[in-house]
Chain A
Amino acid sequence: MVNLLYTELLKLKRSKMFFISILGASVAPILIVVASFLHLKTKTNAEPILFEELFFQGNLYTVIIIGVPLYGVVTAYLFIREYLEDTLKNLLTIPVPRFSLIICKSILLFLWIMLLTMFTWSITLGLGVLFQFEGLSASLVIHSFRQFLLGGALLFVLSSPIIFITLWLKNYVPTIICTIVITLMNVMASNSEHRDLFPWAAAGDIATNSMLSTYPAMYSYMIIGVISVVGWVCTIFYFNRVDVN
């Protein structure tokens, strides 16, 4: 398994996708910090925007808006490239067990998502310091870092249905459409009191500690868990049975 994971990392050598994902991950914090800075500088008597708000907005936009399509593209890239580059037949005849391949790619996806999440947090912190926002403290740094990681982890947990769609349809387009639909639903649900029943919106609220009291928090956790488990079961069942033509 360690060797298999090593080879998954080796496959990323000279890969443009890694740098593209880094660029994608930097969008939310740059926009938020720059917009906040401009707001402060252009509005007279504007209330100060604190670091806490920067982290909150950065995390929220990452989980709700940018994260789903960005991590969706990363998911599609990782899981579909063996089909697109026609390397799956080689891997399976070496032989790499199909289950191990799914597990390894999922571990890599988790690492990639967490790396991008940490990068987003670092950019938010760095730009905030650069633009001299107030309210930075050691406890806020630790707390916000945890919340960013929680958001990233929840998006990874919810990536299983996207993995299944990618493997099933073997194309970037359905995956991208799916993630756009999820993002749109996140936006549409943002003003709804029932939004915590939608797993991706609930993930945003959990990660930013802003869950609504409409339903017990357990409902959201259960929905996220069920969606994730169904996604993993479908993925593993399908991939273990499908012919490689």
Chain B
Amino acid sequence: MSVILKTTNLTKVYGNQTSVDQVNLNVKQGDIYGFLGRNGAGKTTTIRMLLGLVKPTFGEIEIFGENFFTNQKEILRRIGSIVEIPGFYENLTGKENLMINAKIMGVKKKQALDEALELVGLEHETKKLVGNYSLGMKQRLGIARALLHYPELLILDEPTNGLDPIGIKEMRKLIKNLATERNITIFISSHILSEVEQLVDHLGFIHEGRLLEEVSYHTLKLKNKRYVEFQVSNENKAAMLLEKHFDIFNYEVREDKIIRVYSHIGEQAKINRLFVQHDVDVSKMYLSEDRLEDYFTSLVGGGTIG
């Protein structure tokens, strides 16, 4: 898959403070890319630079294979976006707000507004002024607005902010559908890994303006797979016992006579008994509790949520 969005040493300095520090992003076409970091990590500033709202102090942005700064207008036409809480004209209805975008963008298709509203479940709110919308409705209207012109790339900055658990679930489902049904590349930022981990193909972790790691979700899952670890007197015999008595093949023999079992989590007591019954001494047993959220926390240095 080709890289659809690429930044090189993207940096933004405000006075003495470096908000974004030499960030190199690589987003592949068709991916859902999760951009994770605590509040104030530099996610929104990065996104604002990607959308031309904030001028980088230095660095390059390439989107759709073209230089963003020299082709900004053409590139932005192919992008849909939500930056933080979407703003609307509160004296207008949702449809009238969409009409403003449609007019400016030259959306010709007559049903485009209704389709966009239907997609986000706001088709029955035609007469309600946006001033009377809930936050969740505004977020959904923001998505509808971002999709109005059938973008190839969707940039969403914390789209679940302020949503209740059901709203978050619905938003997640909507984003997943957009990626699969419309084949839109989605760049989504969040400060909560669990909110995006079920969605993403790739992840980028940003902390204090620096991109710490860019990794595929598959690799991350492997890195953070739960396991039971035994330190045994005879690792070869232990491996044979696992295969013979438990049909366990998903294991790994490591240094220091350690055998790591990636399946049958919860059956460590039975496995331990088996080893002992067959004269394999177990000197240490460890159940990993690492989950992605912990990985995220350890990566950014822990501490309180910003």
Contact = CB atoms under 8 A, between A and B. Distances in A.
Interface of A: 3-4, 6-7, 10-11, 13-15, 81, 85-97, 241, 243-245
B86 interface: yes
Interface residue range, chain B: 20 to 34
B91 to A, nearest CB: 4
A55 B21 CA distance: 63
A3 B89 contact: no
Contact of B105 (A86, A94, A97, A243): A94
Nearest to B75: A95
B57 to A, nearest CB: 11
A243 B86 contact: no
Interface in B31-61: 48, 51-55
A6 B103 contact: yes
Contacts, number: 80
B88 A3 contact: no
A6 B99 CA distance: 11
Interface in B89-116: 89-92, 96, 99-101, 103-106
A212 B72 CA distance: 52
B54 A10 contact: no
A215 B87 CA distance: 51
13 contacts: A7-B104, A10-B103, A81-B89, A86-B85, A86-B86, A86-B87, A87-B87, A90-B101, A91-B104, A93-B79, A94-B76, A95-B72, A245-B54
Given A90-B145, A93-B76, A10 B51 contact: no
A3 B104 contact: yes
A92 B81 CA distance: 11
A10 B87 contact: no
A13 B87 contact: no
Contacts of A93: 51-53, 76, 79, 81, 83
Given A13-B96, A243-B48, A243-B55, A4 B89 contact: no
B76 A244 contact: no
Contacts of B76: 93-95
B127 to A, nearest CB: 12
Contacts of A89: 48, 51, 53, 83, 87
Given A3-B106, A87-B87, A94-B76, A11 B52 contact: no
Contact of A87 (B53, B72, B81, B88): B88
Contact of B73 (A6, A15, A90, A97): A97
Given A15-B91, A94-B105, A95-B72, 10 more contacts: A3-B103, A7-B99, A7-B100, A14-B91, A86-B86, A89-B48, A93-B53, A93-B76, A97-B73, A243-B53
A15 B81 CA distance: 27
Contact of B92 (A14, A86, A90): A14
B257 interface: no
B101 A10 contact: no
Contact of A95 (B52, B55, B92): B52
Contacts of A97: 73
A8 to B, nearest CB: 9
B273 interface: no
A93 B101 CA distance: 10
Nearest to B148: A94
Which 7 pairs between the two chains have the least Cβ-Cβ distance?
Answer: A86-B87, A244-B53, A95-B76, A243-B54, A87-B87, A14-B91, A7-B100
B43 to A, nearest CB: 13
B77 interface: yes
Given A3-B106, A10-B96, A243-B54, A95 B77 contact: yes
Contacts of A91: 104
